[in-house]
């Protein structure tokens, strides 16, 4: 593990000076292959670390969920409660609610829990994926202490009508079906996507949560167990309609509806009868975005309105001998959010530009448990004003100033400024020194305040400052492109909110006086062609120290000075993809250091998760038969059949396979 870490860091440092002067926005083409250098010196992104996911990777991972994509190709750590189960993000050591997720400009974080379940977002519906690390998320909204993830859909104006169907068949009775229909020409385009995913999800594993002792030899062994009652299914529709009345007027309507049904497996430490505990969760989501964009001679106007509604039903039933099935929990949650955005940007792309925006949002939630009688109803109104000024100085220095002021339920919250800068170190060369300093602010979620039992209406909002600096380098030469970036960050957050057990017998949220998160992110990409061979290599490494710096005067606080739970100190991934003619081969590697499951960082075997290393490989081919295109791919996940967990007592599957077939007309 240490060798991998040092290699990645060393490569990141050495990549900057290796090559001579670059040519910005160059394109090399051989047959149908194009190697294009992106513009990285953009004043609207000055000081920001932003990751634009390669469309090639989106195509390769199209049958996966967004949780799998992020864990395999970014520095974001995904805390996965099992295959197909809840998956949340830890961005730069932050909690799940500190990652803001936007779909076509509207925020889809739950106003109740504040987080997003990434296992419910299929990569299939994503055309563009942008990650804004740390304070770069302030360009979208406040609250993204870790960062923001932006999912966008785009019109395909230049393409003819197409139909494609994809079928995936995998281990554990897993079936994935995807259908896409693109129509229209001239001023109007329509794109329809339908999908269905199902898995019995009954993989076997060595249950290290249960130990058995042989009465004769005294030998301790772990039984072979099955991930029972873990099936899941998901149905979804994404409909997009674009209308371009004139070249500078575009109106779009996007609707995304989804229904998911999941049974939740018991913890592997459970030793009771297999049928005695049954959990089920139903998620129904409806999201709608309508926007109008006007491109004038002096600027761009955007008017957007949106809606996000969610129904979540959770039930738990216990089978009691002599009494039958007894309902223990039957909880329903209803969430409705309305979004409105008005923004205008103007100025010169080469010199001085500015942007102003106003967001007005309203949330309403309702929760009730018919068994316990607990529940609550609440709402929240949000008004946000943002002003940004960007200036470029002779293609050597970019400055970016953003000012954001928000009101929550009519109360003004702390002012949030951001200042970022890029410096081109050598004229005509894409070698940049980057840095920013910003304030950030995060409101408690509605569950934090009002959940019954346990909500704490006296919680103080989280706030703090983030500083970041780094270097970015890009070079293209003779059909090859190198891009690498190194970032160092420090985020000092006061009044961090964490849920802990209380003396009253249930969990409740409390404020930690201070959490200090600091770390390093390093990534490198190389792609190009060698004769008839096309290749892409990428690697990412993250060092994340997220430490509880609470009040040291409380002698009984064993969590003081310790790493936050489930945050790995080291993480990294690598991918190698090669194409030769119609054939391709992809290798994926992921590594995570140990994680603690208690705030005191207890080092006992049962309270920490050991490091794990994932190896996946896939190979496939494409065929063309007149107007029909065929695609075939075979994937092998967890190549070396490693036993691992991302959270305690929720084992992940061993070696498994998936076959994907696609036909396109």
Query: C-alpha dihedral over 88, 93, 95, 96, to 10 degrees?
Result: -20
The reported pLDDT for the residue numbered 291 is: 96
Buried b (16+ CB within 10 A) or exposed e, 33-67: eebebeebbbbebbbbbbbebbeebbebbbbbbbb
pLDDT in tens, 453-487: 889 999 999 999 999 999 999 999 888 999 999 99
**Mean pLDDT on 321-343:** 89
pLDDT in tens, 490-528: 999 999 998 877 777 778 898 888 899 999 999 999 999
The reported pLDDT for the residue numbered 454 is: 86
Please state the domain extents for the chain.
Answer: 2-664
The reported pLDDT for the residue numbered 276 is: 54
Give the HSE-up count for residue 637: Cα atoms under 13 Å, Cβ half-sphere: 16
Pairing of strands 188-199, 220-221: unpaired
The reported pLDDT for the residue numbered 621 is: 94
Per-residue pLDDT band for 36 (boundaries 50, 70, 90) equals: low
pLDDT in tens, 252-262: 999 999 999 99
> What tokens appear for 549 in the block?
């710096």
> What tokens appear for 126 in the block?
């994503």
Opening angle at CA 265, ends 263 and 270, nearest 5: 150
**Mean pLDDT on 184-195:** 92
The reported pLDDT for the residue numbered 9 is: 36
Query: C-alpha dihedral over 202, 207, 210, 214, to 10 degrees?
Result: 110
> What tokens appear for 175 in the block?
């079936």
Query: C-alpha dihedral over 579, 620, 655, 66, to 10 degrees?
Result: 80
Spatial contact of 657 and 171, defined as CB atoms under 8 Å apart: yes
When comparing pLDDT for 271 and 635, which is higher? 635
327 bridge partner residues: 317
The reported pLDDT for the residue numbered 6 is: 36
**Mean pLDDT on 656-661:** 95
Q: Find the range with the poorest average confidence among 3-17, 283-297, 358-372.
A: 3-17
Options 2.102.10.10, 2.40.170.20, 1.10.10.10, 1.20.140.10; CATH for 2-664 is 2.40.170.20
Nearest to 26 by CA among 475, 532, 527: 475
Rounded to the nearest 5°, which phi and psi values hold at 635? -115, 140
Give the start-end residues of each E strand in 66-122: 77-80, 87-90, 99-103, 106-107
Q: Find the range with the poorest average confidence among 120-129, 201-210, 338-347.
A: 201-210
The reported pLDDT for the residue numbered 323 is: 75
**Mean pLDDT on 531-543:** 93
Asked if residue 442 has pLDDT above 90, the reply is: yes
Q: Find the range with the poorest average confidence among 92-96, 277-281, 634-638.
A: 277-281
Per-residue pLDDT band for 205 (boundaries 50, 70, 90) equals: confident
When comparing pLDDT for 477 and 380, which is higher? 380
Nearest to 454 by CA among 503, 512, 496, 381: 503
Looking at the chain, how many residues does it have? 665
d(CA 170, CA 200): 11
The reported pLDDT for the residue numbered 122 is: 96
Q: What is the pTM of this model?
A: 0.90
The reported pLDDT for the residue numbered 17 is: 36
The reported pLDDT for the residue numbered 485 is: 96
Spatial contact of 611 and 592, defined as CB atoms under 8 Å apart: yes
Pairing of strands 299-320, 656-664: unpaired
d(CA 70, CA 358): 30
Asked if residue 5 has pLDDT above 80, the reply is: no
CB atoms inside a 10 Å sphere around CB 218 = 7
Spatial contact of 574 and 589, defined as CB atoms under 8 Å apart: yes
Spatial contact of 371 and 327, defined as CB atoms under 8 Å apart: yes
The distance from CA 110 to its chain's CA centroid, rounded to whole angstroms, is 14
Spatial contact of 229 and 266, defined as CB atoms under 8 Å apart: yes
Q: Find the range with the poorest average confidence among 22-36, 80-94, 330-344.
A: 22-36
Average pLDDT, rounded, for the chain: 88
pLDDT in tens, 268-326: 766 555 555 678 999 999 999 999 999 998 899 999 999 999 999 999 887 777 777 78
User: Which stretch, 20-34, 233-247, 255-269, has highest mean pLDDT?
Assistant: 233-247
**Mean pLDDT on 645-655:** 88
Q: Find the range with the poorest average confidence among 14-18, 204-208, 490-494, 536-540.
A: 14-18
**Mean pLDDT on 582-600:** 91
d(CA 263, CA 248): 49
d(CA 44, CA 418): 12
> What tokens appear for 350 in the block?
């080469």
């Amino acid at each position: 593990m240490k060798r991998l870490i040092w290699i990645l860091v060393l490569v990141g440092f050495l990549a900057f000076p290796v090559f001579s002067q670059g040519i910005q926005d160059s394109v090399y083409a051989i047959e149908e292959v194009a190697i294009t250098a992106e513009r990285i010196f953009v004043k609207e992104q000055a000081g920001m670390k932003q990751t634009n996911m390669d469309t090639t990777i989106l195509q390769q991972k199209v049958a996966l969920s967004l949780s799998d994509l992020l864990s395999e190709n970014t520095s974001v750590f995904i805390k996965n409660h099992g295959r197909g189960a809840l998956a949340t993000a830890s961005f730069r050591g932050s909690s799940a609610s500190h990652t803001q997720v936007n779909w076509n400009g509207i925020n889809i974080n739950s106003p109740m829990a504040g987080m997003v379940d990434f296992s419910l977002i299929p990569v299939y519906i994503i055309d563009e994926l942008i990650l804004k690390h740390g304070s770069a998320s302030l360009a979208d909204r406040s609250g993204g202490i870790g960062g923001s993830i932006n999912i966008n859909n785009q019109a395909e104006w230049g393409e003819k009508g197409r139909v494609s169907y994809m079928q995936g068949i995998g281990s554990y009775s897993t079936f994935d079906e995807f259908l896409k229909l693109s129509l229209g020409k001239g001023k109007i385009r329509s794109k329809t996507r339908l999908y269905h995913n199902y898995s019995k999800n009954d993989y076997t594993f060595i249950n290290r949560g249960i130990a058995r002792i042989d009465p004769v030899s005294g030998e301790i062994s772990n039984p072979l167990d099955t991930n029972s009652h873990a099936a899941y299914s998901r149905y979804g529709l994404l409909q997009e309609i674009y209308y371009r009345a004139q070249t500078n007027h575009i109106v779009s309507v996007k609707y995304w509806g989804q229904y998911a049904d999941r049974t939740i497996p018991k913890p592997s430490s459970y030793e009771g009868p297999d049928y005695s505990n049954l959990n089920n969760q139903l998620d129904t989501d409806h999201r709608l975005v309508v926007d109008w964009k006007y491109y004038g001679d002096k600027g761009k106007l955007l008017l957007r309105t949106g809606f996000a509604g969610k129904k979540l039903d959770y039930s738990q039933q216990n089978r009691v001998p002599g009494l039958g099935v007894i309902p223990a929990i039957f909880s329903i949650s209803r969430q409705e959010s309305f979004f409105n955005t008005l923004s205008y940007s103007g100025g010169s792309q080469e010199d001085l530009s500015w942007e102003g925006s106003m967001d007005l949002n309203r949330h309403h939630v309702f929760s009730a448990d018919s068994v316990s009688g607990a529940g609550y109803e609440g709402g929240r109104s949000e008004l946000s004003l943002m002003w940004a000024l960007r200036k470029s100085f002779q293609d050597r220095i970019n400055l970016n100033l953003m000012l954001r002021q928000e009101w929550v339920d009519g109360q003004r919250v702390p002012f949030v400024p951001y200042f970022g800068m890029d410096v081109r170190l050598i004229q005509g060369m894409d070698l940049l020194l980057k840095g920013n300093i910003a304030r950030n602010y995060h409101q408690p979620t509605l569950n934090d305040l009002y959940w019954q039992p346990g909500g704490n209406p006296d919680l103080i909002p989280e706030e703090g400052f983030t500083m970041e600096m780094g270097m970015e380098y890009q070079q293209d030469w003779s059909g090859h492109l190198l891009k690498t970036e190194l970032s160092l960050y420090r985020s000092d957050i006061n009044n961090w909110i964490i849920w802990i057990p209380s003396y009253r017998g249930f969990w409740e949220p409390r404020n930690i006086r201070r959490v200090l998160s600091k770390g390093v992110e390093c990534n490198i990409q190389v792609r190009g062609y060698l004769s008839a061979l096309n290749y892409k290599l990428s690697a990412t490494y993250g060092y994340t120290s997220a430490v509880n710096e609470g009040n040291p005067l409380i002698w009984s606080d064993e969590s003081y000075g310790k790493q936050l739970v489930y945050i790995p100190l080291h993480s990294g991934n690598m991918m190698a993809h090669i194409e030769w003619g119609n054939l391709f081969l992809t290798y994926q590697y992921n590594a995570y250091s140990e994680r603690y499951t208690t705030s005191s960082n207890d080092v006992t075997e049962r309270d920490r998760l050991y490091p794990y290393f994932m190896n996946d490989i896939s190979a496939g081919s494409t065929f063309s038969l007149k107007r029909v295109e065929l695609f075939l791919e075979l994937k092998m996940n967890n190549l070396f059949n490693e036993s691992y967990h991302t959270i305690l007592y929720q084992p992940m599957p061993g070696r498994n396979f998936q076959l994907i077939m696609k036909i396109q007309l």
